[in-house]
Amino acid sequence: MADTSAFKKLYSAMINNAGDLSKVQSEFKDASGKVKKIKCFVKESFPHFLVTDNHFYVPCYFTKKAYDDFRSKHAGCNVTDLKSKVVEIGDWSLEMAKVDSSTVFTSYAGVEIRLIVKGFKLVQGTKDKILLSRYPMNLFRDDEMKTLFQAYHHRCLAGSISGGIKGDSLPDVSKRDSSVVSFASGDTFKGWTFKVGTTVPMDIAAICRLEKGAEYVKKLKDSGSSSGKVRVISKAGAKKSAAKKSINKVNIASKLIKKSTPGNAKHSTKRIGSGKHTMKTPTGTGASATATPKPDIKNFNAMKKYLAKMKVKK
């Protein structure tokens, strides 16, 4: 594998050339003038066919001719079983498509660059298992790639302004859907200048049905593995039912207490009698005298005289 990402260079050229494949392929030719072949590692073969150059991974889209040629040359080898294998893509092209980035994870800002596989083969003779030196990341989540998409959007937006530099300096905000794009959600931007690809690739689920049967795909779909979604089992209902049961138990217990307690509701509390109390005073030498505060007679008489004078004056 190369020290730098080949996919990043290839896809960056596609963005910088506004989807012009002829200009892109002219930058990736060998000494004989032919377009270079792509040798890559299969990170995942189902439910998405993802290949990596040891840095980033991108999805592959197979034409029917490419699939049929592969099966004819590799009898008994399924495309959906190529995970952890090395393949060589001899005939390929790139296309740009408008998608919903909230559902297509291999896209950004509503745009996906697709690697169209027209011919490929399995690299034979690999004795040792291929191990990647790093964990490959999604190319469309790379910060530099996002910046390229945003710069391309800015060029398209600037070109759509009427009058150029001497005319309007801002787009018509009243036409929000055709002038502003939300990169977080990937809303459709109508001002892109690239030509949308017309190749209709085979669906990976259809390939799996051909290789392993419809029943196999149905089982995967029922188990949720083919969609890649996480199944969440909630226990909120169980907690509510448990809470209801506990409340019912309390209510039943309260009813039983009321029925089994005749007369006064406070029958279980022992009443204090009206006779002589049994609590004793503090014991010990001078304990009661120490605890009881003593009045100051001198101050008491002075206060009494003061109040008498105040009353006379009033």
Closest listed residue to residue 98, CA positions, set 238, 17, 195, 216: 195
Please indicate, yes or no, if residue 75 is contained in any of the structural domains: yes
Report residue 302's pLDDT band, with 50, 70 and 90 as the boundaries: confident
> Could you tell me how many residues make up the chain?
314
Please indicate, yes or no, if residue 308 is contained in any of the structural domains: no
CA angle 183, 184, 188 (to 5 degrees): 50
pLDDT at position 124 is 75
pLDDT at position 120 is 95
d(CA 144, CA 36): 24
What's the token pair of residue 111?
């745009």
At residue 67, does pLDDT exceed 90? yes
Digit-coded pLDDT (tens) for 126-146 = 555 677 778 899 999 999 999
Q: Count of CB atoms within 10 A of residue 21's CB? A: 17
C-alpha of 284 from chain center: 76
What CATH number is attached to the domain comprising 34?
2.40.200.10
Please indicate, yes or no, if residue 296 is contained in any of the structural domains: no
At residue 184, does pLDDT exceed 60? no
d(CA 38, CA 19): 19
pLDDT at position 227 is 47
At residue 301, does pLDDT exceed 90? no
More confidently predicted of 217 and 57: 57
At residue 275, does pLDDT exceed 80? no
Closest listed residue to residue 206, CA positions, set 220, 217, 215, 219: 217
Please indicate, yes or no, if residue 280 is contained in any of the structural domains: no
Q: What would the DSSP string read from start to end of the chain? A: --SS-HHHHHHHHHHHTTT-HHHHHHTSB-TTSPBPPEEEEEEE-SSS-EEE-SSEEEEEEE-HHHHHHHHHHSTT--GGG-TT-EEEEEEEEEEEEE--TTT-SS-BTTEEEEEEEEEEEE-----SPP--SS--EEGGG-HHHHHHHHHHHHHHHHHTSTTTTTS-SS--TT-HHHH---TTTT---TT--SPBP---PPPHHHHHHHHH-HHHHHHHHHHTTTTTPPP----HHHHHHHHHHHHHHHHHHHHHHHHH--S-TTTTSPPPPSS---PPPPPSTTHHHHHSPPP-HHHHHHHHHHHHHHHHH-
What's the token pair of residue 128?
């040792």
More confidently predicted of 194 and 59: 59
d(CA 131, CA 58): 18
Report residue 280's pLDDT band, with 50, 70 and 90 as the boundaries: low
Please indicate, yes or no, if residue 284 is contained in any of the structural domains: no
Mean pLDDT value of segment 20-44: 89
At residue 177, does pLDDT exceed 70? no
CB 86, CB 39: distance < 8 Å = yes
Residues spanned by the domain of 144: 6-179
d(CA 101, CA 266): 69
pLDDT at position 229 is 44
What torsion do the CA atoms of 88, 92, 97, 102 make, to the nearest 10 degrees?
0
pLDDT at position 216 is 83
At residue 62, does pLDDT exceed 50? yes
Closest listed residue to residue 35, CA positions, set 122, 116, 107: 116
pLDDT at position 163 is 53
At residue 70, does pLDDT exceed 90? yes
Please indicate, yes or no, if residue 190 is contained in any of the structural domains: no
Please indicate, yes or no, if residue 77 is contained in any of the structural domains: yes
What percent of the chain is modeled with pLDDT above 70?
63
Poorest-confidence range of 95-104, 176-185, 216-225? Answer: 176-185
Question: Which residue carries 């099966």 as its tokens?
Answer: 71
Q: How many domains does the structure of the chain reveal?
A: 1
End-to-end CA distance of the chain: 110
pLDDT at position 261 is 52
Please indicate, yes or no, if residue 133 is contained in any of the structural domains: yes
Sign of CA dihedral 160, 166, 168, 170: positive
Mean pLDDT value of segment 12-32: 89
Q: Which residues pair with 106 in a beta bridge?
A: none
